[in-house]
Structure 1
Amino acid sequence: MTTTDRSRLGSRLQMARGWYWAFGVNGDPYAMLLCGQDDTPDHWYEQIRSASEGPFRSRCGAWVVTRYAAAAQVLRGPGFARAGGEAAEEWARPFLDARPAGGPPPAAVDELVPEYRKVAAEAGARLDLLRDLARETPARGVTARLGLAGEDARRVAALLHSGAPALDARLTPQPLAVTERTVAALAELRRLAGAEGVRAAAGCEMAANTVTNAALATLRTPGLAGRLADDPDVADRIVAETLRTAPPVHLEAGRATAGQTVEGTAIAEGDVVVVALAAAHRDPEVFAEPDRFDVDRAATPAALTSGFGHSDGLEEFAARHAAAALRALADVLPGTALTGPVVRRRRSPVLRGISRCPVEI
């Protein structure tokens, strides 16, 4: 099936989403999570965790892991790999390579700070934090690295934005128009810049959300913006806590490459295992008051990354952009206020993508 077969593709997307709703309303919290209709999905994570002492077996066909130790075992163990085509629904297969391995190392935080200051100055006092700063700065970096300028740079930046739903589309069927637009954007990015272009679409969206989530946490936590203004190094602790509470990737799907036992549950070779990183990072057996944003946490394990035995650098890319943005905005965040609601994308259970965040500095 190709995206040119619109009728068949649209039917498959609608059917898959219909099954998820049917499973969800009949007691499958993971299926409801995949529907991606909640701004705060934490209650689904808790329902998945409480439904089983070990991995939760969803009617969607996956084992779902929500506890920190089990998540670490699956992500770091040798018996699991990212889910391949043989384990994916037909409608999801165009997005399986949306996160290719490897790529150049991300720029250092100190190199990114001036870029964020420049973009923030251009955006003015009233801006959309996501669109005008958090998404714009990584996209400029990508186009500069590709040697693009002018109309070519603007075109690639638009393609990066259109390719943003790719990671969500691996697990959750998107509307037909979004699916077609995303597939076309990834194909054009691959034509223009190879695997690096495809990787950039995922990386820029992960960075944009992490930057915005880190800034929002700073604004919403009493006294934290003032601490950051007094000591910009607090940015590192803010980012670390953001990676725990709002990781760049909330769900990562893998496949067992050999028979495994996870939390006392036998996982057969070929089984799909989904790690809910956002749930694992709020495991009450590991983190005291897990729902509280606390930059002064001590002796807690680091946030997990969705690498399945290897790191492609995208979490580090997102973290460095967030740290740079906080340092660049440190002096002005104490006087910054939201001027409207923060709007999150629907059907975005993987990235919990933000689409709007209006602020005034």
Structure 2
Amino acid sequence: MTTTDRRRLGSRLQMARGWYWAFGVNGDPYAMLLCGQDDEPGHWYERIRTAGAGIFRSRCGAFVVTRYDAAARILDGPEFSRAAGETAPDWARPFLDLRTAAGPPPPAVEELVPHYRAALPGTGTRFDLMRDFAREVPVRAEAARLGADGADAEGIAALLRSAATAPDARLTPQTLAVTEQTVAALRALREQAGAAGPPAAAGCAMAANTVCNAVLATLRTPGLAGRLADDPDLADRIAAETLRTAPPAHLESRRATAAQIIQGTAIAAGDEVVVAVAAANHDPEVFAGPDRFDVDRAAAPPPLTSGLGCRDGLDEFAARHAAAALRALAGTLPGMTRTGPVVHRRRSPVVRGISRCPVEI
């Protein structure tokens, strides 16, 4: 990339972010959501939900859906596609193919459990749940699956970590340095691992955050860690409820392939429609006590995932990693405590990336 190219890219990234801020401070909650400055985005979801009777039209150009029924129709219907083509801004185009092809095959939970047990430090240890545990297992497993070993495996693992911002970079402009790092990592992954490299990076980022969110939800919910210790099979239900409350991808962008009406709103062919998956999974008309983490939730529909209709397997990949990590931690979680605040990565409205999560066992 030449200096001129870098300057142009940096300028366009700054300009796009500036427009999001300008729209946001003038009353556009989706634009503020894209800025990614909040640890808890729920209030923006609620503002989008209550902004109108139909679908919210953001000044960023996208229609935004937060209702469960409409979201399910868009995610699982043939009238919507992930293909963005030439309509995407130039700064987003390097990230368009992350989820257009099949991702890594979801591994069997029982095969993952020993890897998470091996990653767990001894009793009396302080460590970072994200950096030392949740991120490393999927990264190292994917490096091995992509055929790398020895020094090559370390190199692939480093690229998978460096590309963790790619799912967010598709919708939210990152800093110039982060954008260049992510683009370079994706390019190297394509060169060294082929087309399977970029989806693996997205899968690792989604799995790591889902593992952290599942563990944190278990620690926050009174009595749940003890129940898991007594019944490790509860891990599957905790993982499922985590997919509802903190899905691997909070936002999913689709393009309408034909003109249609959704919730009384006319959608033209080619329009961008963003499903706020996390908001739809908290729809109070569908889920009783939607903000409550409840593994005994009965008579509720399944949580929506970003992979519906375009099944790349990444949501299931993340769910299986979460279930495996919980099984590995079943006897440990009752004695685990947080030793500091959970730090979320900024500009991360899609995966709600966790940067640090200090704990002690």
Q: How do 1:28-67 residues align onto structure 2 when only pairs under 5 Å count?
A: 28-67=28-67
Partner Cα separation in structure 1 for residue 11 and residue 187 of structure 2? 23
After the TM superposition, which of the residue ranges 96-105 and 6-15 deviates more from structure 2?
Answer: 96-105
After the TM superposition, which of the residue ranges 221-230 and 140-149 deviates more from structure 2?
Answer: 140-149
Aligned-partner residue type, residue 305 of structure 1: T
Q: How many pairs are equivalent? A: 361
How much does 1:174 deviate?
0.2
Partner Cα separation in structure 1 for residue 225 and residue 146 of structure 2? 35
Matched position secondary structure for 1:215: helix
Aligned-partner residue type, residue 275 of structure 2: V
Aligned-partner residue type, residue 244 of structure 2: R
Aligned-partner residue type, residue 107 of structure 2: A
Q: 1:305 to 1:333 in 2, by over 3 A?
A: same
Partner Cα separation in structure 2 for residue 34 and residue 65 of structure 1? 14
Aligned to 2:223: 223
Matched position secondary structure for 2:50: helix
The root-mean-square deviation of aligned C-alpha atoms, in Å, is 1.5
Contact 1:3 1:180 in 2 (8 A): no
Deviation per CA, 1:256-289: give whole Å up to 9, x if none: 0001111111111111000000000000000011
Matched position secondary structure for 1:274: strand
Matched position secondary structure for 1:346: coil
Aligned to 2:23: 23
Residues 1:145 and 2:145 are matched in the alignment: yes
Contact 2:82 2:100 in 1 (8 A): no
Partner Cα separation in structure 2 for residue 194 and residue 123 of structure 1? 41
State the identity %: 75
Contact 2:79 2:258 in 1 (8 A): yes
Aligned to 2:7: 7
Q: 1:3 to 1:136 in 2, by over 3 A?
A: farther
Matched position secondary structure for 1:326: helix
Contact 2:113 2:325 in 1 (8 A): yes
Partner Cα separation in structure 2 for residue 3 and residue 214 of structure 1? 43
Aligned to 1:311: 311
Matched position secondary structure for 1:299: coil
Matched position secondary structure for 1:97: helix
How much does 1:85 deviate?
2.2
Matched position secondary structure for 1:98: helix
Aligned-partner residue type, residue 282 of structure 2: R
How much does 1:121 deviate?
3.9
Partner Cα separation in structure 1 for residue 3 and residue 20 of structure 2? 22
TM-score w.r.t. structure 2 length?
Answer: 0.97
Partner Cα separation in structure 2 for residue 262 and residue 275 of structure 1? 12
Partner Cα separation in structure 2 for residue 207 and residue 63 of structure 1? 28
How much does 1:78 deviate?
1.0
Matched position secondary structure for 1:51: coil
Aligned-partner residue type, residue 146 of structure 1: L
Contact 1:83 1:253 in 2 (8 A): no
Deviation per CA, 1:64-88: give whole Å up to 9, x if none: 0000000001001110001412221
Q: 1:104 to 1:172 in 2, by over 3 A?
A: closer
Matched position secondary structure for 2:359: strand
Q: Structure 2: any 5+ residue segments left out of the alignment?
A: none
How much does 1:124 deviate?
7.8
How much does 1:54 deviate?
1.0
Partner Cα separation in structure 2 for residue 328 and residue 100 of structure 1? 32
Q: How do 1:49-128 residues align onto structure 2 when only pairs under 5 Å count?
A: 49-121=49-121, 125-128=125-128
Aligned to 2:179: 179
Partner Cα separation in structure 1 for residue 315 and residue 125 of structure 2? 29
Q: How do 1:176-255 residues align onto structure 2 when only pairs under 5 Å count?
A: 176-255=176-255
Partner Cα separation in structure 2 for residue 98 and residue 40 of structure 1? 25
Matched position secondary structure for 1:261: strand
TM-score w.r.t. structure 1 length?
Answer: 0.97
Matched position secondary structure for 1:255: strand
Partner Cα separation in structure 2 for residue 310 and residue 147 of structure 1? 26
Aligned-partner residue type, residue 34 of structure 1: L
Partner Cα separation in structure 1 for residue 317 and residue 263 of structure 2? 32
Aligned-partner residue type, residue 192 of structure 2: L
